[in-house]
């Protein structure tokens, strides 16, 4: 409750008291009219400002007109009670919106306003405004991190859910990046400050959520257009009712039910709640327009490398020759490769480490450019490289059919081939399930766009069940591919791993960038940004979008349409009067609000809840 809200409470109570005193003949009519003027002033002011600045006629204008007509028609009590009830309704709506925004911020999280900073050899608690870049901030278990920065000392488990939506705490050590608003659950960290205050990732997320409503969705613009042409229709209708009935009470009642104000409430709150819910899951949506388009998308175009796949090579198959064991093969291969900086070498060492194989240090190491590596491991001469290298070294290899699209590294020990490591960029573990979930949500086609060769693209596409594959594409060719897909009349979403796919992301109706935590440029380039590389977040984003779109439809058709139509019919049949109409008028406002804020608490299928499907 702000000071402004308390003033509104005082005005409502004051006017209500005057109306009650007049009803029991305690005060004369001029006092009542003065009280009505005091109560009507804020409504008339807001209505006129909306009319002048935005050319919008809302509840305030309608209520002002209805109250004035009631006063002129000497329906003093009805007009005054109507105004008081509408003041109460407006106050409740404003208070609920304030609370909704507050709960949105609470769901996203918060940042401490003080930080423990190491200055001149001592640890001092400072206001966040006094923390500078390069300061060392100390954060202990159970505390929130107040800045974006790099860990310089310590180890800890950090809950990053407020930023990335990850449900499992991440282990952080020296050199790791951490974000403001995340929580140290176990351990302690010394963090070198890189960003503070409004420059942090948390601040950017909150700013996106708060301003996202400025980007109106098409359905929201439609509601505004409907309200614009509905006004003259309503006025003609009311004049007709007055002409045939001469019933002033009926006209006042109809004025209340024909107000198009709820059309303006039906969409914005849904968009705010849905965008906040997405942010809580580590999904940043730039505005309502993209949320609605994502709900209507029927074709998804995926980049391959780094999006559907991990973006780095890994050993996917091991082939042994003779009596060499798998552990022995990995031990020799990893020992020979451990000094190399080549991505394939790193993949071999990672596979050996994952298999708990002891990897010794080679006594000698030599890189043969374009061929491979020669090393001495435990007195054995190890060769690791392509087939040409081993053949040139006099080592016989079994013939191969050449159809394998995987990268192969031959391993030989003491002039004898002992095995082959097959490497590839593996698909993401959750990719197949995520694509199936997207198909179940109404996606008609999933297309893979890649600059990689056709053989590799076909292998990945077959593994994931992709509908169409376009390989050997340069960046401009990806843009042309998006245009061809759009030419069929469907909305197309493009999913890529950030800046590299920027042209195609910009061409698509919805551009979705993956894994952009901490990357300002990638966030700005995309319409939707996923803070992690979790591809299931795409299905989560679409689930939120579809739920939001259905909620808007419910608000418009049920919360506004049905209630108002029934109210108009009841008024025409003289079942209700102005006071009852004003009380019933609370219904759509409350219904729209409650239906909208449910989105903030919605559970996603990926969280184990039963999902809600759209018709």
pLDDT at 106: 61
**% of the chain beyond a pLDDT of 70:** 85
What's the CA gap between 474 and 319, in Å, rounded?
34
Give the pLDDT score at 261. 57
The DSSP letter of residue 20 is H
Query: What is the per-residue pLDDT for 486?
Result: 93
Instruction: Check residue 309 and report its DSSP letter.
Output: B
Tens of pLDDT, residues 398-420: 766 554 567 889 999 999 999 99
Supply the pLDDT for residue 485: 93
Which one is predicted more confidently, 614 or 19?
19
Q: Please classify residue 137 by burial: count the beta carbons closer than 10 Å to its beta carbon, then call 0-12 exposed, 13-18 middle and 19+ buried.
A: buried
Give the pLDDT score at 194.
94
Give first-to-last CA distance, the chain, whole Å: 40
Alpha-carbon gap, residue 254 to 260, rounded angstroms: 12
The per-residue pLDDT for range 130-189, each reduced to its tens digit, is 999 999 999 999 999 999 999 999 999 998 877 776 667 888 999 999 999 889 998 999
pLDDT score for 105: 60
**Residues 282-289: what's their mean pLDDT?**
84
The answer to whether the CB of 600 falls within 8 A of the CB of 269 is: no
Task: Tell me what pLDDT residue 178 has.
Answer: 93
| Local structure of residue 340 (DSSP, 8 states) | -
Specify the pairing of strand 122-127 against strand 314-320: unpaired
Average pLDDT score over the chain: 83
Under the banding of pLDDT at 50, 70 and 90, the label for residue 602 is confident
Strand 372-377 versus strand 468-470 pairing type: unpaired
DSSP codes, 546-610 = HHHHHHHHHIIIIIIIIHHHHHHHHHHTTS--HHHHHHHTHHHHHHHHHHHHGGGGPPPGGGTPP
Specify which residues 510 forms β-bridges with. 493
What pLDDT score was predicted for residue 248? 84
For the chain, the residue count is 615
**Greater confidence, 145 or 600?**
145
pLDDT for residue 611: 39
pLDDT band at 286 (very low <50, low <70, confident <90, very high): confident
Indicate which residue of 25, 214, 247, 303 is catalytic. 303
Dist CA 492 CA 445 (whole Å): 10
Say if residue 98's pLDDT is above 80: no
The pLDDT, as a whole number, for residue 613 is 36
**The tokens of 532 are what?**
């992690």
Per the model's pLDDT, the better-predicted residue between 472 and 126 turns out to be 126
Q: What integer pLDDT is reported at residue 377 of this predicted model?
A: 92
Cβ distance 261 to 592 under 8 Å? no
- C-beta of residue 611 within 8 angstroms of C-beta of residue 550: no
Angle between helices 268-280 and 586-597 (to 10 degrees): 20
The answer to whether 303 is a known catalytic residue is yes
Residue in the structure block whose two tokens are 């689930």: 543
Domains and CATH numbers, the chain: 3-105+209-269+547-603 (no CATH), 114-196 (2.70.150.10), 284-310+428-543 (3.40.50.1000), 314-424 (3.40.1110.10)
- Cβ atoms of 452 and 470 within 8 Å: the answer is no
- Give the residue-averaged pLDDT of 338-343: 84
CA distance 494 to 504: 7
With contact defined as beta carbons under 8 Å apart, do 464 and 432 qualify? Answer: yes
Q: Is 120 exposed, middle or buried (0-12, 13-18, 19+ CB in 10 A)?
A: exposed
Query: Sign of torsion, CA 197 202 205 210?
Result: negative
Residue ranges with strand state E in 321-363: none
Q: 109 or 125, which is more confident?
A: 125
Please give the average per-residue pLDDT across 308-323, as a whole number.
88
Angle (CA) 599-601-604 rounded to 5° is 85
Averaged over 488-496, what is the pLDDT?
A: 90
CB neighbours of 498 closer than 8 A, spacing ≥ 6? 513, 514, 515, 516, 519, 521, 522, 525, 526
Backbone angles phi, psi at 124, to 5 degrees: -125, 145
Angle at 225 between CA 223 and CA 228, to 5 degrees: 110
pTM equals 0.73
Q: Put the strands of the sheet holding 380-385 in their side by side order.
A: 314-320, 416-424, 407-413, 380-385, 372-377, 364-368
Task: Count Cβ atoms within 10 A of the Cβ of residue 185 and give its class: 0-12 exposed, 13-18 middle, 19 or more buried.
Answer: middle
pLDDT at residue 522 in the model: 62
- pLDDT digits over 49-81, tens only? 877 876 766 667 777 887 888 888 887 887 888
Strand partners, 159: 183
**The pLDDT value given to residue 610:** 38
Average pLDDT over residues 37-54: 85
| Of 212-216, 305-309, 527-531, 589-593, the least confident | 212-216
Residue 276 has pLDDT above 60, yes or no: yes
How far is 291 from 71, CA to CA, in rounded Å? Answer: 46
Instruction: Give ∠ CA 419-424-428 in degrees, rounded to 5.
Output: 135
């Amino acid at each position: 409750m702000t000071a402004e809200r308390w003033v509104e409470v005082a005005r409502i109570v004051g006017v209500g008291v005057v109306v009650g005193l007049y009803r029991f003949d305690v005060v004369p009519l001029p006092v009542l009219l003065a009280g009505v003027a005091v109560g009507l002033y804020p409504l008339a002011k807001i209505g006129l400002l909306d009319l002048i600045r935005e050319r919008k006629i809302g509840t305030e204008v309608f209520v002002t007109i209805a109250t004035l007509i009631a006063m002129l028609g000497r329906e003093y009590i009805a007009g005054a009670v109507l105004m008081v009830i509408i003041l109460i309704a407006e106050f409740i709506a404003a208070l609920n919106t304030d609370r909704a925004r507050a709960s949105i911020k609470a769901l996203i999280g918060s940042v401490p306003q003080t930080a423990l900073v190491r200055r001149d050899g001592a640890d001092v608690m400072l206001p966040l405004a006094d923390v500078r870049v390069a300061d060392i901030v100390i954060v202990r278990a159970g505390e929130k991190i107040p800045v974006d920065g790099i860990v310089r000392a310590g180890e800890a488990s950090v809950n990053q859910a407020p930023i990335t939506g990850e449900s499992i705490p991440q282990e952080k050590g020296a050199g790791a990046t951490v974000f403001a608003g995340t929580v140290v659950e176990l351990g302690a960290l010394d963090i070198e400050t890189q960003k503070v205050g409004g420059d942090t990732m948390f601040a950017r997320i909150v700013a996106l959520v708060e301003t996202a409503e400025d980007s109106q969705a098409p359905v929201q613009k439609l509601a505004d257009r409907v309200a614009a042409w509905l006004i003259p229709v309503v006025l003609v209708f009311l004049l007709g009712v007055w002409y045939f009935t001469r019933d002033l009470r009926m006209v006042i009642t109809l004025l209340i039910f024909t107000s198009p104000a709820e059309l303006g409430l039906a969409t914005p709150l849904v968009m705010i709640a849905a965008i906040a819910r997405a942010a809580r899951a580590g999904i940043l949506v730039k505005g309502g327009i993209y949320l609605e388009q994502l709900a209507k998308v029927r074709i998804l175009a995926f980049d391959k490398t780094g999006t559907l796949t991990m973006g780095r090579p890994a050993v996917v198959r091991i082939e042994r020759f003779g009596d060499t064991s798998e552990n022995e093969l990995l031990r020799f291969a990893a020992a020979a490769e451990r000094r190399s900086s080549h991505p394939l070498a790193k993949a071999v060492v990672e596979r050996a480490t994952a298999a708990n194989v002891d990897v010794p240090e080679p006594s000698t190491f030599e890189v043969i450019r374009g061929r491979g590596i020669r090393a001495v491991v435990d007195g054995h001469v190890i060769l690791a490289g392509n087939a040409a290298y081993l053949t040139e070294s006099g080592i016989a290899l079994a013939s191969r059919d050449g159809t394998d699209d995987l990268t192969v590294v031959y391993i030989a020990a003491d002039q004898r081939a002992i095995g082959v490591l097959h490497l590839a960029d593996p698909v993401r573990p959750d990719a197949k399930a995520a694509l199936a979930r997207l198909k179940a949500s109404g996606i008609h086609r999933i297309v893979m766009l890649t600059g990689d060769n056709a053989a590799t693209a076909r292998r990945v596409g077959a593994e994931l069940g992709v509908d169409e594959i376009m390989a050997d594409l340069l960046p401009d060719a990806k843009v042309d591919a998006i245009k061809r897909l759009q030419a069929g009349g469907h909305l197309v979403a493009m999913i890529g791993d950030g800046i590299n796919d920027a042209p195609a992301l910009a061409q698509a109706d919805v551009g979705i960038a993956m894994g952009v935590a901490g990357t300002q440029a990638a966030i700005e380039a995309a319409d939707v940004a996923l803070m992690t590389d979790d591809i299931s977040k795409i299905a989560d984003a679409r689930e939120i979008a579809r739920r939001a779109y259905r909620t808007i439809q419910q608000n418009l058709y049920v919360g506004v349409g049905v209630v108002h139509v029934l109210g108009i019919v009841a008024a025409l049949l003289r079942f209700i009067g102005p006071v009852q109409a004003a009380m019933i008028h609370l219904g759509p406002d409350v219904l729209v609000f409650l239906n909208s804020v449910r989105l903030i608490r919605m559970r996603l299928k990926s969280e184990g809840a039963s999902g809600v499907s759209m018709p």
